[in-house]
């Protein structure tokens, strides 16, 4: 990244950033791509792509094994990403970072390893109505296997977690509180530190597992300050490659947990009869890991670090406020599902156009090169709560411009023209 990409303490130089993202030049259906599907996955800077190519071109070797130079260098680079990520999210030690394939696998690791060993019949697993399936289905399976019960903390009309309900529903039988930091539908940010405080007071034996898939790319993260026990992320949503995620966990918890997957690389000593486990983090990284993508992820963390997460957050607050103000002012047929207050929300904006299916909206926008998401965004139960069959979702990142919000608004004006009769009818 050019150093000019950061203009002042709190302003990103978006045009300079855009020059680092080759895909943003792509023409889709005759129009320059307007990429507003960042909650699904982010685009990738040249620096990350170059790191990936350089690894396969001149650095490829298996890690933690052979005593030759290439292997030693690959191991060093792989471990360097662990250190960078630990620093990036405020983890006390890189050994507490476990590389996984994605957030989904990170949550499954906790659910299978800690959950099956520590959750018992009659215990309660507490989640929220806003969970992505990745932080919901693994816990349903733990409940099914153990006889635990499932409790969902409600959200209010602004899409915010109801803290009174948290006080009432987290109790002595609670063993797990699993909660998304930032909703991938509503964009709302959960008060994790407050939930942790309530959990420690009401349920001292419970763990707090945070789904950071949407927060780590967009907010400054300090897991030590949040006070949670586990924090899960996906690299591909934060300028990194697909196929890499991570779980941060408290050392004492990780050290007491049985392995998740077993085989090579995660053992201490193996005899024909039995096996001892390697210390963390190796105990949870069975087999040859995704070396290339972990190394390339290091370049993505460097990129975000150079911008500064305060500046990233500032940019997203500005563009989200602009988007909400613009869309509300120009498009009265739109329904929104969360508060406009950018103090407590990020740049994920779910909406519907009255009586028009989100897939139709998305298809018309795609004709103008505008990429949004339409559907239930892996959050079926949340859509039941919202009373929406599906939603449109526009989501912003560091390279988005206010002109792209304007393009979205112009696209929605076309939707309104094409579906004028349906929109004129009362809400179906």
Greatest CA separation for the chain:
74
Q: Is 378 a catalytic residue?
A: yes
Nearer residue to ligand PMP within complex by CB, 338 or 415 = 338
CA-nearest of 196, 220, 191, 222 to 209 is 196
Nearer residue to ligand PMP within complex by CB, 176 or 407 = 176
- For residue 264 the two structure tokens come to 């090579």
Give the nearest distance from C-beta 234 to ligand PMP in angstroms: 3
Nearer residue to ligand PMP within complex by CB, 169 or 213 = 213
Nearer residue to ligand PMP within complex by CB, 134 or 146 = 134
Nearer residue to ligand PMP within complex by CB, 118 or 134 = 134
Q: Is 96 helix (H, G, I), strand (E, B) or coil?
A: helix
Number of residues assigned to the chain: 428
- Torsion, CA 343, CA 345, CA 347, CA 349, rounded to 10: -130
Give the nearest distance from C-beta 293 to ligand PMP in angstroms: 13
Give the nearest distance from C-beta 132 to ligand PMP in angstroms: 3
Interacting residues toward ligand PMP by CB under 6 A: 39, 102-104, 132, 134-135, 180, 184, 211, 213-214, 234, 378
Give the nearest distance from C-beta 377 to ligand PMP in angstroms: 7
Nearer residue to ligand PMP within complex by CB, 233 or 365 = 233
Give the nearest distance from C-beta 135 to ligand PMP in angstroms: 6
Cα separation, 182 vs 323, whole angstroms = 18
Give the nearest distance from C-beta 211 to ligand PMP in angstroms: 5
Q: Which residues of 382-398 are buried (b: 16+ CB within 10 A; e: fewer)?
A: bbeebebebbbbbbbbb
- Torsion, CA 375, CA 397, CA 187, CA 107, rounded to 10: 80
Chain-centroid distance of CA 371 in Å reads 19
Q: Is 172 helix (H, G, I), strand (E, B) or coil?
A: coil
In the set 150, 371, 378, 418, the catalytic residue is 378
Nearer residue to ligand PMP within complex by CB, 124 or 130 = 130
Alpha-helix residue ranges (DSSP H) falling in 155-234:
163-169, 192-202, 223-226
Q: Is 91 helix (H, G, I), strand (E, B) or coil?
A: coil
Chain-centroid distance of CA 340 in Å reads 21
> Considering Cα of 103, then 108, then 114, then 119, what sign does the dihedral take?
positive
Rg, C-alpha atoms of the chain = 22
Burial of 157 from C-beta contacts in 10 A (0-12 / 13-18 / 19+): exposed
Are 24 and 371 in contact by the 8 Å Cβ rule? The answer is no
- For residue 210 the two structure tokens come to 């945070």
CA-nearest of 278, 270, 228 to 106 is 228
Give the nearest distance from C-beta 153 to ligand PMP in angstroms: 15
Nearer residue to ligand PMP within complex by CB, 238 or 408 = 238
Give the nearest distance from C-beta 90 to ligand PMP in angstroms: 20
Cα separation, 307 vs 297, whole angstroms = 16
**Active site amino acids:** 378
């Amino acid at each position: 990244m050019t150093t000019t990409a950061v203009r002042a303490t709190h302003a990103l130089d978006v045009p300079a950033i855009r020059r680092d993202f080759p895909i943003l030049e792509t023409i889709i259906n005759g129009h320059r791509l307007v990429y507003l599907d960042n909650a699904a996955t982010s685009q990738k800077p040249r620096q990350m792509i170059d790191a990936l190519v350089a690894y396969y071109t001149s650095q490829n070797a298996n890690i933690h094994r052979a005593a030759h130079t290439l292997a030693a260098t690959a191991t060093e680079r792989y471990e360097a990403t662990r250190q960078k990520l630990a620093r990036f999210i405020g983890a006390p030690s890189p050994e507490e970072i476990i590389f996984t394939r994605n957030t989904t696998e990170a949550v499954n690791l906790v659910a299978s390893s800690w959950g099956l060993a520590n959750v018992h019949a009659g215990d309660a697993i507490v989640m929220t109505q806003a969970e992505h399936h990745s932080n919901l289905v693994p816990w349903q399976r733990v409940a099914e296997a153990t006889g635990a019960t499932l409790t969902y903390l409600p959200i209010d009309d602004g899409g915010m977690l109801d803290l009174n309900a948290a006080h009432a529903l987290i109790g002595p039988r609670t063993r797990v509180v699993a909660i998304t930091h930032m909703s991938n539908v509503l964009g709302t940010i959960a008060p994790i530190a407050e939930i942790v405080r309530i959990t420690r007071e009401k349920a001292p034996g419970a763990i707090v597992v945070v789904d950071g898939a949407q927060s780590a790319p967009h907010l400054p993260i300090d897991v030590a300050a949040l006070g949670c026990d586990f924090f899960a992320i996906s690299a591909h949503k934060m300028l990194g490659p697909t196929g890499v995620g991570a779980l941060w966990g408290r050392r004492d918890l990780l050290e007491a947990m049985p392995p998740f997957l077993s085989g090579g690389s995660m053992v201490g000593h193996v005899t024909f009869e039995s096996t001892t486990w390697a210390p963390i983090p190796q105990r949870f990284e069975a087999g040859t890991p995704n070396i290339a993508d972990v190394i390339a992820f290091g370049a993505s963390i460097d990129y975000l670090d150079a911008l500064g997460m305060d500046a990233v957050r500032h940019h997203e607050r500005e563009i989200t406020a602009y988007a909400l103000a613009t869309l509300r002012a120009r498009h009265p047929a739109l329904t929104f599902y969360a508060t406009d207050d950018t103090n407590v929300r990020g740049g994920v904006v779910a909406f519907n156009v009255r009586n028009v299916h989100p897939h139709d909206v998305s298809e018309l926008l795609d004709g103008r090169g505008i990429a949004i998401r339409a559907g239930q965004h892996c959050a079926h139960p949340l859509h039941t709560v919202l009373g929406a069959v599906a939603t449109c979702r526009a989501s912003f990142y560091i390279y988005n411009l206010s002109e792209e919000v304007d393009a979205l608004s112009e696209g929605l004006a076309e939707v309104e023209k094409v579906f004028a009769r349906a929109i004129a009818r009362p809400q179906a």
